[in-house]
Chains A and B, each alone.
Chain A
Amino acid sequence: MTSTQSNPIDPVTLTVIDNFLTSTCRDMGVTMMKTSYSPIFNESLDFSCVIFDPDGQMLAQAEFCPSQIGTVKFTVTWTLDELGLDGFEPGDVVVHDDPYRGSGHVPEHMMLKPVFYNGKIFAFVANVAHMSEPGAKTPGGLSGDATEVFQEGLLLPPVKIRSRGKDVPDIWKIILANHRTPKVTYGDFRAMLASLDLAEARIIELLDTYGEELVREASRQLMTISERRMRAEIAAIPNGVYSFEDAIEDDGIGTRDFPMRLRLSVRDDDIIADFTGSAPQAIGPVNAIYAVTASAVYNAFLHLTDPTIPRNEGCYRPFTIIAPPGTIVNCSFPAPVAGGNTETSPRITDMVFGALQQAIPDRVVASCGGTSSPFLFGGTDPRTGDLYAHFHFEGVGWGGRKGADGNDMVVTINGNCRNTPVEVFETRYPAFLIDSYRLLADSGGPGQWRGGLGGERVLTVQNEVTVSALLNRMKTDPWGVLGGDAGSRGGLWFRPDANSEWRTFVDAFGTRSPSKFSGITLESGNQVRIVMPGGGGYGSPADRDPALISQDIENGFVSIERAERDYGFQAGMGER
């Protein structure tokens, strides 16, 4: 190994320290999973855990939610800038959710705690978690027709929720008074605090074992190593300027599309992702703040490069992201942003793959279904009289890649959340009965390597409930690459009862958008059908192995009619 450092630390010690920091982040997550209240936390694991140095450089993270991991570096930097290192005392914890101060969107709450050692701040431990109820205009937030960030939840600038180890009651009171489900928020906040305490103790243990200087130096060297490795990976991509364009369909307010344009320059070991030319920001909540756009680009490259590179600040150094202010990829205050993080983010990541399909055809994937299908609901639990709220999301088909079909029904690339099991869902939220939850045949984009299947879920309302939605890919296609075809689009449907025809929410309720709206009240017996898009195909369908087509037919992944139409398949072709 070459190193410009005078005293490179031996690889064994570096590995041990890196593993220790990463496993600390992982254990923070386990603590949150085991103690939190909302299913979005403990079933879906929609949170992330990170460790930073006092300069705001990320030292380590655990693998939970990629969009949060990229965004949190902006959230932490902003917090440190705003409060200053002198603003922290031992035992302090700061809470923060303001997108115009670096948060991904309002539901995502960050908590940050300094780790003092020998009287000085050695590191910060932080977690970011999606609160199921942020106090927005409609239950669960992510209101699909919000027009200002103020409608998306209670905005919290970085404020201390705990000071010198003691709760700050006034802050707790303000937050709990503004969330519809204060008990759930309280339980989730306690889980976040416990996770920070654990991480603090673990880092002090590490410092006691190895000494402050060695750990600081090791962290520095790990970041240098990560940067060097990331640069070596980029250098292996042919130099050039690669472009791609996609669009976010409507914004819940108007009907026009919002094109996003990417010019990706690979120059030796640097990447410049330039979004100049993208649409002006939307009135509705599909805008990405700069941190979300940057995070989505990082996410693409972390997927394209060696997964053993230690995940720290060094990974991000080769990247320059240009996103003009006032656009859909870098919106200005006070535009609403909720869907930027769930919807626009995975689309930006996919655009990087689309742009690079000619440069590194063996490594890219086709578009995934590209929506988290946020479907929010809330009401009063008839069993207890308490208010409840839930952020429900869905998986999608993933794009085909060289050598394998796309995965069926997996959450989009900006997250890695688990679904809420039907049995947990109905126990927690008696508003709905889930009639079906299944894969959708023929939804995967045809290709040499087929796109993964999307699915559908049909729900029957059991008692009055208020719903909101912020879906996508109902008017635009999950595109294929290198000759592959698009996967099928998603959908959201309503009918008054099981014997009626399915209608769009525009037809049934006069919403401006079929996919984005808020605050619609449904009654007992009504049904909702959520359709999740499939993934795009990779390579020409004509090159698909007939044996695979036969298997698809046997498994019911592809119908005979579509096999004939899309692949020119004839019975007997795939038999061996």
Chain B
Amino acid sequence: MESLPEPSISLGIDTGGTFTDLVAFDAQSGQLATFKTPSVAAKPGQALFNAIQGSEVDVARIAELVHGTTVCTNALIERTGARVGFLTTRGHEDIPYIQRINRKTLYDLQWRKPKPLLQSRGDCLGIDERMGSAGQEILPIDPDDVAAQCAILRARGVEAVAICLLFSYVEPAHEQLVAEIVARELPGIPISISHEVAPIWREYERASTTIADTYLKPLMSTYVDSLTESLAEIEMRAPWTIMKSNGGAMKAAAAVANPIQTAQSGPAGGMIAAAALGKQAGEPNLLTLDMGGTSADVGLIIDGAQKHTTEYEIEWGVPAAIPLIDIKSIGAGGGSIAWIDAGGFLRVGPQSARALPGPACYGRGGTLPTVTDANVVMGRIDPGNFLGGRMTLDRDAAEAAIAPLAAQLDMSVLDLAAAITAIADENMAGAVKMISIERGHDPRRFTLFGFGGAGPLHACAVARALGIPKVLIPIFPGNASALGMLIAERRVDKVWTQAFRSTQVDETQVAQQFQIILDAALAELRAEGFTGDPSVEYSINMRYLGQNYEQEVPIALDGAIGMLETAYRTFEDHHAALYGYTIENEVIELVSFRVTVRGSRPPIRLSVEPDRSAPAQRPGREVFFRGHGFVSATVWDRYKLPLGSRIDGPAVIEEPGSTTLIEPDMWAEVLDDGQLLIWVAPETEGQA
């Protein structure tokens, strides 16, 4: 990079199931450009190739590329990964099949227990060995036995091997030995080892994560090869990385080695964008609402930082305990279908019309009423100016789809359309509540960040329902995930699991262990391509001795005596804040120790200069609001609005990938970076 001053363009490319979004930022000019192209399922590299070509970015000037991908997400959903062999402690071969023995919902005799990501139970083999709960060796391992099991796996035709032995998170020696023998006996076969993939207790959760990782390995390897080839074809020589679920980016080789990390690649990009754009607007505390075609993801950002978790499920009952940005997903999107349940209740989602056939108004054969159809009927979406005019929507088809339901409930089509959007809004508000109120955060102290194609249309209603005072709509809300990839930092999370009691813990040993995982994390960060000065955060997961779930307590590892005492006090404060009590004189258990290293990048200011060549105002139209009826709304072309403009609701602000709706009694301000800040009127007394 030093030899060539020209490369100054950063690319973020997010490949979703339907579209591939590109955002380009030129550090020299400060200009942002976006481009959208259909994804190509059969040859994934093709969409990247098309996006870069179509955006007319000068390839020679690309400084770097960060890529978000749903290749793993889709393989997990569609079950198209590798045939995995599972090696475990003898006697426990059925871990992936027994699972946790509970069922998804009560009262459903048709429920089917989820299948593991395995082709046959015969691919699960036991090894004679055993570690105890304190890491003591109970039964030594026999290398010949391991080799014999490898021969069986080879004969059965497995394509990848997952290794998960009991208590390996305490003592990994047996697992390491098994991995060495498998590597020798089955050369070329990818291996995932549980204490590396997810060093957590609970054998089913650890095994499931490990199986998922190895299940994706051959696929990710092929995917990266395809991308490498496509990028070579256009002579793209800049370094490129893949987005992880925790919001960090990693080199392609790292993704091949640990593909399960990319399971929530796309949504992570959106959360990065939210944090950065919120900060830029002076709004560091955000509730995020990313509403797309089939689902809505909600998240929480406090002081400019996302919340992180390891509780992720591929489907109900099939966990993948990877570090990821905490997002809650619900089935509420533009394509969510409205229906009447057996009791006569109107319901919306979780079934979706998806891209095909799509909402009725798309005119692709869909006949079921969706949220998008309701929005069209209410005049909130302009049928003639969808996707920047590249697609025309059929308002009559939308009405026709809603009419039968309206007749059934003895309501007008308009009232029913309004009810559909109201229920979708309530569902989303419920999800926002779960991540705010239920975790002790008052939504009224946050700003709602609305993005995704449909988020800006519904954000004001969701904010109103929760008493959230302000809504922030970013620039390019439909491309926010790609935007986030542009600015993603490098990030590695490492965990060490070993239980201590506060009465018996050795502060020196803790410090030493922190150093060991810190070194591992730093090595990984370097391997992922980071060369600068990383920031480091430490935390300990603690609970009262006897409890089973922990709280993450940040600690300052500065060598000072008494760091743990401070941590215990913080734990008690957290416990009191969350649950309203503490237990006096109770022993505290230290369960796991975490290090996060982050390689930050020079901050980029993301902004849009308005196009002043034409007036921003378009012809107004009648828009239906629940409780108001039809109201004349002003309509605006977003990127022609001068910075600092004030737009009073009711108003519609249109842009190619999205539509922002400003309700009556609310008003919006165009910030100096082009973002829209909407002031939500205080809730008036009484319900409509």
Listed in ascending order, the chain A residues whose CB lies under 8 Å from chain B are 1, 11-16, 19, 23, 27, 30-31, 33-39, 41-43, 45, 63, 66, 183-184, 186-187, 190, 193-194, 197-198, 210, 214, 225-226, 228-229, 232, 302-310, 363-365, 394-395, 401, 403-404, 407-411, 416-419, 421-424, 426-427, 430, 433-439, 455, 458, 554-557
Contacts and interface: CB of A to CB of B under 8 A. Distances in A.
Nearest to A419: B101
Contact of B547 (A35, A197, A306, A433): A35
B411 to A, nearest CB: 9
B426 A407 contact: no
B201 A197 contact: no
A435 B109 contact: no
B98 interface: yes
B92 interface: yes
B166 A422 contact: yes
Interface in B349-384: none
Contact of B346 (A15, A36, A38, A401): A15
19 contacts: A11-B419, A16-B426, A35-B579, A41-B548, A66-B106, A190-B583, A198-B580, A229-B342, A232-B342, A307-B107, A308-B345, A308-B347, A394-B101, A407-B103, A410-B102, A427-B201, A436-B91, A554-B122, A556-B122
Contacts of B92: 422, 436-438
A407 B113 contact: yes
A423 B548 CA distance: 13
A417 B99 CA distance: 12
A12 B546 contact: no
Residue among A184, A190, A363 with max Cβ neighbours from chain B (10 Å) = A190
B299 to A, nearest CB: 18
Interface string B136-177: 001000000000000000000000000000110100000000
B353 to A, nearest CB: 21
Contacts of B544: 37, 187
Interface string B93-104: 111011111110
A8 to B, nearest CB: 10
A183 B546 CA distance: 8
A15 B419 CA distance: 12
A423 B167 contact: yes
Q: How large is the interface on B (under 10, 10 to 19, 20 to 34, 35 or more residues)?
A: 35 or more
Interface string B63-96: 0000000000000000000000000001111110
Contacts of A422: 92, 166, 203
Contact of B345 (A14, A33, A35, A458): A14
Given A193-B581, A416-B103, A555-B122, A438 B91 contact: yes
Interface string B519-547: 00000000000000000000000001011
Contacts of A197: 580
Contacts of A34: 547, 549, 579
B101 A410 contact: yes
A12 to B, nearest CB: 6
B344 A11 contact: yes
A13 B110 CA distance: 30
B579 A31 contact: yes
A19 B583 contact: no
Contact of A19 (B111, B430, B499, B575): B430
B566 interface: no
B101 A225 contact: no
Contacts of A15: 345-347, 423, 426
Contacts of A27: 438
Contacts of A306: 341-343
Contact of A303 (B93, B100, B107, B201): B107
Nearest to B340: A11
B557 interface: no
A310 B95 CA distance: 35
Among B97, B100, B344, B575, find the residue whose CB has the most chain A CB atoms closer than 10 A.
B100
Given A395-B98, A423-B202, A404 B110 contact: yes
Contacts of B106: 63, 66, 302-303, 416
Contacts of A309: 342-343
Interface string B199-237: 001111100000000000000000000000000000000
A404 B112 contact: yes
Contacts of A31: 579
Contacts of A37: 544, 546-548
Contacts of B509: none
Nearest to A401: B109
Contact of A1 (B91, B94, B344): B344
Nearest to A395: B101
B120 interface: yes
Given A455-B94, A556-B122, A410 B109 contact: no
Contacts of A409: 97-99, 101
B108 A303 contact: yes
B409 interface: yes
B133 interface: yes
A400 to B, nearest CB: 11
**Closest CB pairs A-B (n = 5):** A436-B91, A42-B548, A37-B546, A395-B101, A418-B100
A576 to B, nearest CB: 16
Nearest to A407: B113
Given A43-B548, A556-B121, A416 B203 contact: no
B579 A430 contact: no
Contact of A423 (B99, B133, B138, B581): B133
Given A408-B98, A430-B133, 13 more contacts: A11-B419, A12-B419, A23-B430, A303-B107, A310-B343, A407-B113, A411-B101, A421-B202, A424-B202, A426-B132, A437-B94, A555-B121, A555-B122
A435 B201 contact: no
A557 B687 CA distance: 57
B546 A423 contact: no
Contact of B166 (A194, A419, A423, A557): A423
Contact of B581 (A39, A194, A437, A556): A194
B94 A401 contact: no
B113 A408 contact: yes
A443 B28 CA distance: 70
Contacts of B202: 421, 423-424
B164 to A, nearest CB: 11
A418 B107 contact: no
Contacts of B341: 306, 308
Contact of B98 (A184, A225, A437): A437
A308 B346 CA distance: 12
A194 B101 CA distance: 27
Nearest to A457: B91
Contact of A433 (B108, B138, B345, B579): B138
A308 B110 contact: no
B122 A408 contact: no
B581 A438 contact: no
A410 B546 CA distance: 26
A194 B580 contact: yes
Contacts of A404: 110, 112
A140 B687 CA distance: 51
A307 B105 contact: yes
B305 interface: no
Q: Which of A66, A214, A364, A424 has the most chain B CB atoms closer than 10 A to its own CB?
A: A424
Contacts of B608: none
Contacts of B347: 15, 308
B57 interface: no
A183 B94 CA distance: 35
A517 B347 CA distance: 51
B643 interface: no
A574 to B, nearest CB: 14
A417 B409 CA distance: 39
Nearest to A364: B109
Nearest to A37: B546
Nearest to B113: A407
A14 B426 CA distance: 12
A167 to B, nearest CB: 11
Contact of A458 (B91, B342, B423): B91
